[in-house]
Structure 1
């Protein structure tokens, strides 16, 4: 390697060593940084630049344009991938300035492209029903448990860790009006940061959980040592996150659904509530979001759906060609 070209590679090696030793970045992240920075070095070398001291802001901006537009050897990158590469480059130049390798930071004013906002993926109500029907196939205690598990995930919008962390005593009966005879089923979840919230349970989920508690859980519990967990595995112990995911995956395969995860049901719960007219603040409380900003992404899903319906149904929505 020519001595001049090695200066760039030496700087990159020093930066990656810094990320490994002092920042403790994961191996996959380091691999991505190394790939992005090697592409940056190739770009600089092609422009005749062999030292970070000679890089100007226009060079970094041109690299970003190349990422977005592609070249003879690389396809165009989306905003997220290009943004990651620019972040790696900005980190390299900050490191070089801090270590005295350069006297200025040419990447300081070059901003990564705005990240594309990924809307949550939700399945339709009909697909939820197909998923629940698939969980019942086979009968027996496990089928009752699986149905109750999926009903509760979709019926409350809870995280998978919250559902498998439930104890039997966390399923309660509330009487909103002390003078009324009717009771409302509810579940006490322990969310992120140890925060607790009470979420009402609808009729379908309540019926499924009751059937599991009466007809299935006692038999599963007999194989264990008296676990207080609501959902038990075949050995009578608490069902793990991996076990719950496997239950959902098997039901989704039987229902002919792809890419369905526990978080898909959480997204579907929120999206269907917003579609039904629920206030975003109420959905925020039910999901246990600390900020309403996190919940508002589901309103974007509804707006997209409204746009699709409008474009398909309104006689003057069609764009002339």
Structure 2
């Protein structure tokens, strides 16, 4: 049986997750639940449907979803428009999403084999060669489907294509180790240094992540580290200093670039489509003052000898 994975999205011609022009595969499923995550559709491994009520034409004009649904009690209508789905009863067969003419019901996730992914990659190969780009696998958490990643990256290396893995590194080390021979670049996060606060805001403690970062840095594999800077959560002096100390002392400074990603209020509509609460809904902050703070944080890291930049665009190494 061909190796396959649950893919959330394939983004072509991306410039922000690795050098050059890239083709990026977002794999579905993640063990973390970061409060600020803008991609809640990546949480679960299995495909699921998203409901965008404002796009519904009205059941009086269109009843396609009713015709294919195996249990009409799962479809919840308000004023003749689809409002939500009873997810406890829904089997995620996705038939309603396949027939909806207005994309009021959208499928989140589909299966792709390594061969199917490679067909897309080969189409874009000329862009990699001209820009120093390649293929990035992200998530969700791609290490949940590490066997697939390994097979895909092996196929890429056979074609001489640069590979990049973007991961939280919340996994057993053996999964990461198995990918070392076929991965050219790693991208990971340093969200919070305090383990209890890390668990409070992401759902898991950071012990495994920090251990894997230390072990990975010892392999001398190229590593880009990112800090998603979140107002009033990890932008305080203690956390920033602890992050710098960890990079310099525990990782021996073996980070190619530290990227600061300023918080953006993203994904609210996607949370609504899945019937999930958006935990950053009540966060209020001054955008201009916050951005100045991020700039000062970047200066601090650079003064300590850590190459730091704001944003995620990486230059190609031609």
TM-score normalised by L of structure 1:
0.21
Larger radius of gyration: 1
Bigger fraction of residues in helix:
1
Q: Which has the higher strand share?
A: 2
Higher RCO (CA < 8 A, seq sep 6+): 2
TM-score, normalised on structure 2? Answer: 0.21
